[in-house]
Structure 1
Amino acid sequence: MNEDNRPVLVGTAQLVVRDADPREAPEPLAMLLQMARDAAQNAGTGDRALRGIDSVGLVDVAGWLAPNGGRFLAEQLGATSRCELASGLGGEAPLTMVNRLARRIASGESRIALAVGCNNMHTLKRARQRQVKLDWKIGGSGQAEVIAEPSLGNNPLEQQHGLDMPVQNYPVLENALRARLGLSLEKHRERLGRLFAPFTETAAKNPYAWFPVRRSAAELVTPTAENRMIAFPYTKYLNAVLETDQAAGVLLMSAGAARELGIAEDRWLYWWGGAYTKERAWFVSERPDLSRAPAMAECARRTLGSANVTIDDIDRIDFYSCFPVAVQSAAESYGVADGDPRALTVTGGLPYAGGPANNYTLHSLAAMADLLRSHPGEKGLVTGNGWYLTKHSGCVWSTERPTGDGVDPGPNAADPLPAPLPVVVASRGTGRIEGYTVVYDREGAPARGIVIGRTDEDQRFIANTPADRALLERFVAGEQVGRKGRLSRDGELGRFEPE
């Protein structure tokens, strides 16, 4: 790589807007412009850098229907953009986008790039409640290239059985993981509390966190009126929070451009490498092993390989943390053992710092950059995850110059990712549970059981349990993975009745 083309992150920006009246809350364009200007200010340069932006990566903004928001933003900054990237849906997409921008810089296609995003879902919710019409400015000609895979996260069969949102899908995976680890329900609850309590401590110190509140391990996992069960085994405090008003952005450029602009080298974070992977078994119900995330392990291998490092070389970590199973799977995939002294977040994570729609990883990247600047020579790993451990991204950064060129080693042809299983709605016979959850209503009562398993003929099935409260209460009182039951059909739905 031409050393002048080394990609460096030179500026960061974050914003949180709390409890603003929807008639006064900043609109997306204003937040994005502020992030761009604050990132340039953070880099120690002003409008000179902004006017030189030739590439813009924009994380999709819920409710903002700008035809080409990236170009619109560039025009407002006085820049002429030649490349606009749009994230699409997915928590992995911002890092995938940043990796793409870094590689464009490394190849000489770009000199200065902006990656930016915001979330206005708190304002959108309040506007609906108060019947306030939001008149947000839009613009931008042309069409941006969309980064994320366009496929939806669930298939129609899953949706029919109530498996259609993160709050139902992740608990199914969590319960499968618990069974593989051989943990009792009580030991598992303790594990979840111990895992996320340190996240709340980090969030409490984060000025941009949506919930900067320190909570104990017991408080996180104990159901209360405030911390109701959402879907077994997760209480509210273990779920990502999406309804926030937050923004973040980073300014990237070539080392040559940074020198020309006079940006001090102690502001530079070198991009060491990064990768993106996705599951072949895209839908949760089709995955051969519900307790594992093989594409995440593949992303770990390729991310670290592209950076020419091992996990032991990494000093700082931010694992995507929408739900506990995502963090546990990332730790397993990257080889971070239980009890490792390294913290697993630099922000406080999605349930506490905030999971601003698609944009969380720009917050984690900005926070990581600020942390690494204050610890020269250390290396930081940031990861992303989309849908339900379906799509994965990662990247490595340091104030030190990289030892390689960030080349992705690519897939391992000798060890391909598992293919999807066909899924049936069984009308007879018996089956064995592999993953499950019980979804609760807003009053804290169990309302629906969802089961994924194998028939006696070794076919994958999906089903609901009877909607009997006593049965569901028994269902969450003990381990159900491995339990057998009778299979039947109720119209288009599968039905599983425990033996």
Structure 2
Amino acid sequence: MSAIDPRTPVLIGCGQSTWRGAPDRPTTYKSMLVEAGRAALADTGADVGGAIDTVAVVRFWVDSLPFDTGVPRLTNPPRSLAQALGLAPRTHAYTAVGGNTPQMLVNRYADAIARGEVETVLIAGAEAHRSLAAVQKTGGDISAWGEERGVPDLVIGDDRPGMSPHELAHGVGIPSSTYPLFEEAYRKHRGRSRAGHKVVMGALMSRLSEVAADNPLAWFPVKRSPEEIVRPSPENRMISTPYTKFMNAVDSVDQSAALVLTSAGRAEALGVPRGKWVFLHGAAEANEIWHVSDRVDFHSCGAIRAMVQAAMEMARIGLPDIAAFDLYSCFPVAIEIACAEIGLHEDDPRGVSVTGGLPYFGGPGNNYVTHSIATMMERLRARPGAYGLVTANGWYLTKHACGIYSTRPPDGPWTRPDMAALQARLDAREHPAFTETPHGRGKVETCTVFHDRAGPRKVILYGRLEDGRRFLANTPREAADILERFDAEDLMGARGTVERGPDGRNQFVPG
């Protein structure tokens, strides 16, 4: 079969669904999974169902929380999907938590296919958060949401908690209050005022909304102006400074997506048309220093830089060769830092998203990147020979994966870079010492103010003691004047005093 190594991994099918039914016509996780899986199988243009020997499902939101939601569970989502589609795979896999997991699955199963361990994989994921909330709000019956099918054969991915108990006690761990800490640090690193940085963020996110407006699968297919995005309003309240609601990933969606991955030899034997084939040219994964409190700094991410460099070396191309990008976009700073690390201007004419991003296309839990890859496949099929880069992110710029795609066949055999060696270098970086029991004088390293619907509620900040050690703190709960100062003023770099408060949390007082 021409010069393509028959064991070369290749994507041959993709499918996506966005459910827009009225609240009184809800969908379910299983229904969404089946719809996307069926679409991906049909997209191959061949009868491939009998060749599927592995079904892997991205973890649902309801299974990602550290407590029991009370929602009846699909105990084995990949088995439920396989049986609904009439498939008989040998292996049923489920992932750990993380937005990195869809790309991680593609990378790892590509390895397994190249080694001859697996033949054809159906990768799928779904969220029905919006439907679930609607049913629960009306007191409807959710018993049919569950299904007993045993347990998955394996769970793939790093299942460590993303935050420490100390971080969680101070408010670090909720994404909408954690990413703003990176944003403020990035703003300070770029030397921008609060007002000046809002202009930049607004322009960046407005461009994403323009992509979503042209995407029929987008949850919010509406172009928003920069001013509309950054200006607080009754429909766009402040969440955590500097982020309004329109800058946050939207997780209350009903969306699903699926992919079919096999080898070039198997694709040809199954009769899959060549116009469906999309190859994975570069693939890499890396973790940042695990806990936010231990990061080298809050304005960069060495894991993204190292991972993308490794993938490009594997693909034997450079940044100018990439025609399309989908950079993980849960919050503006995720895009900003990724652009800075890979050397891409935020306003590059090639764009930073093919979907419209998590705030506008939709942020379906851990599964967004399955949509990224499916959309990238469609984009590249329409531009034969062009390359596309997809990046994925789990937790708090913590777990990363990327893939470089093209319809162009790779020049040589599938050979991945040494991820263990790359990770060892990242883990060996020096970073500030952290103390959970700070006392004395210090200064603010980064900060955010969490808002509820009534207004500012809590300050979350990282600081440095005079000896250089990093600490995490809030401000005294009873000190409304301090809360208002942090909300109204730029207190990055402000000096003050930190000590343990009566509730066991660290308290910082500027002055």
TM-score normalised by the shorter chain: which range applies?
Answer: over 0.9
Q: Equivalent of 1:15, from 9, 13, 17?
A: 17
Q: Which residue of 2 aligns with 1:125?
A: 133
Evaluate the alpha carbon distance shift between residue 131 and residue 342 of structure 1 in structure 2; reply closer, same or farther with a 3 A threshold.
Answer: same
Aligned counterparts of 1:165 and 1:446: Cα–Cα separation in 2? 16
Q: Equivalent of 2:165, from 146, 156, 171?
A: 156
Residue aligned with 1:326, SS: helix
Aligned-residue offset at 1:147: 2.1
Task: Look up the equivalent residue of 2:494 and give its one-letter code.
Answer: R
Aligned-residue offset at 1:276: 1.1
Q: Which residue of 2 aligns with 1:423?
A: 434
Deviations 1:72-121 (A, max 9, x none): 32233333212332122100011101111111111222221111010011
Deviations 1:171-208 (A, max 9, x none): 01110111111111111000101111110001011111
Residue aligned with 1:462, SS: strand
Evaluate the alpha carbon distance shift between residue 101 and residue 415 of structure 1 in structure 2; reply closer, same or farther with a 3 A threshold.
Answer: closer
Task: Look up the equivalent residue of 1:362 and give its one-letter code.
Answer: T
Is 1:76 paired with 2:84? yes
Aligned-residue offset at 1:357: 0.5
Q: Which residue of 2 aligns with 1:301?
A: 309
Alignment of 1:72-471 (within 5 A): 72-134=80-142, 135-141=144-150, 143-279=152-288, 281-404=289-412, 405-410=414-419, 411-412=421-422, 416-418=427-429, 421-426=432-437, 428-443=439-454, 445-467=455-477, 468-471=479-482
- Contact 1:167 1:231 (8 Å CA) reproduced: yes
Q: Which residue of 1 aligns with 2:495?
A: 484
Aligned counterparts of 2:415 and 2:323: Cα–Cα separation in 1? 18
Residue aligned with 2:449, SS: strand
Task: Look up the equivalent residue of 1:495 and give its one-letter code.
Answer: Q
Alignment of 1:20-35 (within 5 A): 20-21=22-23, 24-35=25-36
Aligned counterparts of 1:273 and 1:55: Cα–Cα separation in 2? 22
Task: Look up the equivalent residue of 2:447 and give its one-letter code.
Answer: Y
Aligned counterparts of 2:284 and 2:438: Cα–Cα separation in 1? 43
Q: Which residue of 1 aligns with 2:68?
A: none
- Contact 2:476 2:501 (8 Å CA) reproduced: no
Aligned counterparts of 1:147 and 1:479: Cα–Cα separation in 2? 43
Structure 2: unaligned runs, 5 residues or longer: 63-71
Aligned-residue offset at 1:235: 0.5
Residue aligned with 1:358, SS: helix
Is 1:475 paired with 2:476? no
- Contact 1:6 1:255 (8 Å CA) reproduced: yes
Aligned counterparts of 1:127 and 1:408: Cα–Cα separation in 2? 47
Q: Which residue of 1 aligns with 2:60?
A: 61
Aligned-residue offset at 1:335: 1.5
Deviations 1:345-373 (A, max 9, x none): 00000000000011000011111101111
Q: Which residue of 1 aligns with 2:67?
A: none
The TM-score with structure 1 as length reference comes to: 0.94
The TM-score with structure 2 as length reference comes to: 0.92
Aligned-residue offset at 1:71: 2.8
Aligned counterparts of 2:29 and 2:458: Cα–Cα separation in 1? 38
Aligned-residue offset at 1:67: 3.0
Aligned counterparts of 1:182 and 1:220: Cα–Cα separation in 2? 22
Task: Look up the equivalent residue of 1:494 and give its one-letter code.
Answer: N
Aligned counterparts of 1:446 and 1:142: Cα–Cα separation in 2? 44
Deviations 1:407-433 (A, max 9, x none): 124334666553565532445321011
Task: Look up the equivalent residue of 1:401 and give its one-letter code.
Answer: P
Structure 1: unaligned runs, 5 residues or longer: none
Deviations 1:240-269 (A, max 9, x none): 011111100111111122212222101110
Q: Which residue of 1 aligns with 2:69?
A: none
Is 1:6 paired with 2:8? yes
After TM superposition, what 4+ stretches of structure 1 lie above 6 angstroms from structure 2? none
Aligned counterparts of 2:22 and 2:114: Cα–Cα separation in 1? 41
- Contact 1:51 1:77 (8 Å CA) reproduced: no
Identity %: 37
Evaluate the alpha carbon distance shift between residue 317 and residue 75 of structure 1 in structure 2; reply closer, same or farther with a 3 A threshold.
Answer: same
Aligned-residue offset at 1:125: 1.1
Task: Let me know the Cα RMSD of the aligned residues.
Answer: 1.9
Tell me the matched-pair count. 494
Evaluate the alpha carbon distance shift between residue 461 and residue 31 of structure 1 in structure 2; reply closer, same or farther with a 3 A threshold.
Answer: same
Q: Which residue of 2 aligns with 1:40?
A: 41
Residue aligned with 1:127, SS: helix
Residue aligned with 1:424, SS: coil
Residue aligned with 2:210, SS: helix
Aligned-residue offset at 1:124: 1.5
Evaluate the alpha carbon distance shift between residue 253 and residue 144 of structure 1 in structure 2; reply closer, same or farther with a 3 A threshold.
Answer: same
- Contact 2:292 2:396 (8 Å CA) reproduced: yes
Q: Which residue of 1 aligns with 2:66?
A: none
- Contact 1:294 1:417 (8 Å CA) reproduced: no
- Contact 2:300 2:341 (8 Å CA) reproduced: no
